[in-house]
Amino acid sequence: MSKPISILYISSEVEPFAKTGGLADVAGAFPQLIRELGHDIRIFLPKYGFVGDRKFNIYDVIRLRDIPISIGDKTETASIKSSFITNQRVKVQVYFFDLPKYFNRDGVYFDPQSKKDYPDNDERFISLCRGALETLKRLGWKPDIIHCNDWQTGLIPAYLKTIYKDDPFFNKIRTVYTIHNLAYQGVFPKSSFAKTGLPEELFNEQTGLATGDVMNLMKCGIQFADTITTVSKRYAEEITTSDEFGCGLKDLLKKRRKDLFGILNGVDYSVWDPSVDPLIPQQYTHKTIQEKVENKRELLKAFKLPVDDAVPVISIISRLVEQKGFDLLQEIAGTLLKEDIKIIVLGTGEKRYQTFLSELATKYPDKVGVKLTFDDSLAHLIEAGSDMFLMPSRYEPCGLNQIYSMRYGTIPIVRATGGLEDTVTDIDSKNGNGTGIKFGPYDSKALLQAIERALKIYRDEKTWNKAVKNAMQQDFSWEKSAKEYITLYKKILKK
């Protein structure tokens, strides 16, 4: 094997420590695969208040204490704590960036009580970016690559090309910046820019990190990283060709198209597979799909819905935000619920969708079950116990739940966009070939037709079972994508 590559992997969310969405699943699983392929990858994330030292065996690192971090004119003091994540085959080093003033809190990005973004998110993530670089220096570990994820880490490529440019410790390090969701850009007023310590001339639209008169940290990552990736080929195409998907950064992304690669996220089948899942009442495989129904019964009980094996259960697990297509569901809910079906939703997010869903559950107590919480165990039970899984997303960079659903034999009904388009193949109702139901236009009629098509196939048991078996046998494990990343890392290092 050629020389191992060393990578610092920075993310604001990493399973099992901190999770608000798919980024955490990726950041928890991907590094383990890279490690299995023989490379030295280490994770860097904030030490949030809810991450228990005892629970995760987190220890102080004596020589990484009292690290000064400049935030504009101020200097804050951070230290590093250490732990591992392990999948039995390998261990991955995790460094926690401990700056209690910014991170000893109950939320990742916002206050869980008020639901408002923390007002000092600029300082929090400036400190994370500077902290990562300062830590490397003190550690004396010089990775080949720093792999950044989303806007929270977007300043790092800019720091390496400016403040740290002439420092021999850093000048060989290359950066990869992965876009998990272009719509969240980390936008702050111009006054926040001074806190970054970056040279004044970077505050410009053409070659810098400004959009209009604000600082845009997503733009910063895209502008300054050596290489950019995003989480599906289709999404890479969409963000460089459509104004809507490009979220104001289309032209810049187009300019950087030759450095932008779409690499599909993998999933961790040691966590998301019904044959080994410890969180579900009845394990099963594609050879024993008849046992899946046991989970359906438990799921219906958990949502206090009448148990009936024959009635199809359509589920959603999602952040309740505009991206996920709840407005379409809202338009068709009344018509859809004339069918003999059950709908189950697990989600947290915007008030308007919470209200819609709670009202729906009140109106149809025997047909609709809603829980407005974040509950990982319940998410597993829903994947195992449902017949269909709904993702009518407006856009979807990759999406993980449709991939989990397939492995659980829960047929995804998805809009053909981003990673949904790349991972699901439409079922042919004549022979059951395919793995899910797809619809094209973002409109409620198309969604309703898609669900009705799914219900029709469901009633044809033989065809349905064939599709379920197909879906369960799809393989989206990380190995293939991790190898693509290694190839990419090597290519960058040759440049």
Binding site for ligand ADP (CB under 6 A): 21-23, 25, 317-319, 346-348, 374-376, 379, 398-401
Alpha-carbon span 224 to 255, nearest angstrom: 12
- Shortest separation between residue 319's beta carbon and ligand ADP, angstroms: 5
Alpha-carbon span 176 to 157, nearest angstrom: 8
CA 446 vs CA 58, 395, 416, 441: distances in Å: 50, 15, 11, 7
261 forms bridges with which residues in the sheet?
229
- Shortest separation between residue 24's beta carbon and ligand ADP, angstroms: 7
Residue nearest ligand ADP by beta-carbon distance: 22
Q: Between residues 423 and 463, which has the closer beta carbon with respect to ligand ADP? A: 423
DSSP 111-171: -TTT-PBPTTHHHHHHHHHHHHHHHHHHHT---SEEEEESGGGTHHHHHHHTTTTT-TTTT
Three-class SS state of 256 = coil
Three-class SS state of 109 = coil
- Shortest separation between residue 163's beta carbon and ligand ADP, angstroms: 32
- Shortest separation between residue 373's beta carbon and ligand ADP, angstroms: 6
Q: Between residues 53 and 322, which has the closer beta carbon with respect to ligand ADP? A: 322
Q: Between residues 376 and 428, which has the closer beta carbon with respect to ligand ADP? A: 376
CA 220 vs CA 129, 253, 377, 417: distances in Å: 12, 12, 37, 26
- Shortest separation between residue 99's beta carbon and ligand ADP, angstroms: 25
- Shortest separation between residue 361's beta carbon and ligand ADP, angstroms: 15
Q: Which of 277, 275, 245, 276 is nearest to 262 (CA)?
A: 245
DSSP state at residue 107 = -
Q: Between residues 135 and 318, which has the closer beta carbon with respect to ligand ADP? A: 318
Take residue 420 and report the two structure tokens written for it: 């949904």
Residue partners of 491: CB distance under 8 A and separation at least 6: none
Give the other-Cβ count within 10 Å of 3's Cβ. 10
Q: Which of 344, 437, 338, 440 is nearest to 385 (CA)?
A: 344
Q: Between residues 400 and 457, which has the closer beta carbon with respect to ligand ADP? A: 400
Q: Between residues 196 and 315, which has the closer beta carbon with respect to ligand ADP? A: 315
Q: Between residues 226 and 383, which has the closer beta carbon with respect to ligand ADP? A: 383
Alpha-carbon span 219 to 215, nearest angstrom: 9
- Shortest separation between residue 344's beta carbon and ligand ADP, angstroms: 12
Take residue 104 and report the two structure tokens written for it: 């000893």
- Shortest separation between residue 178's beta carbon and ligand ADP, angstroms: 13
Backbone angles phi, psi at 223, to 5 degrees: -65, -40
Take residue 239 and report the two structure tokens written for it: 């963000």
438 forms bridges with which residues in the sheet?
414
- Shortest separation between residue 175's beta carbon and ligand ADP, angstroms: 22
Please check whether residue 393 is in contact with residue 369, taking contact to mean a CB–CB distance below 8 angstroms.
no
Q: Which of 332, 359, 444 is nearest to 345 (CA)?
A: 359
Strand-pair category, 342-349 with 368-371: parallel
Strand-pair category, 411-415 with 342-349: unpaired
Alpha-carbon span 212 to 392, nearest angstrom: 32
Q: Between residues 43 and 346, which has the closer beta carbon with respect to ligand ADP? A: 346
- Shortest separation between residue 33's beta carbon and ligand ADP, angstroms: 17
Alpha-carbon span 222 to 485, nearest angstrom: 18
Q: Between residues 227 and 348, which has the closer beta carbon with respect to ligand ADP? A: 348
- Shortest separation between residue 483's beta carbon and ligand ADP, angstroms: 21
Q: Which of 397, 478, 484, 402 is nearest to 30 (CA)?
A: 478
- Shortest separation between residue 111's beta carbon and ligand ADP, angstroms: 18
Alpha-carbon span 234 to 263, nearest angstrom: 10
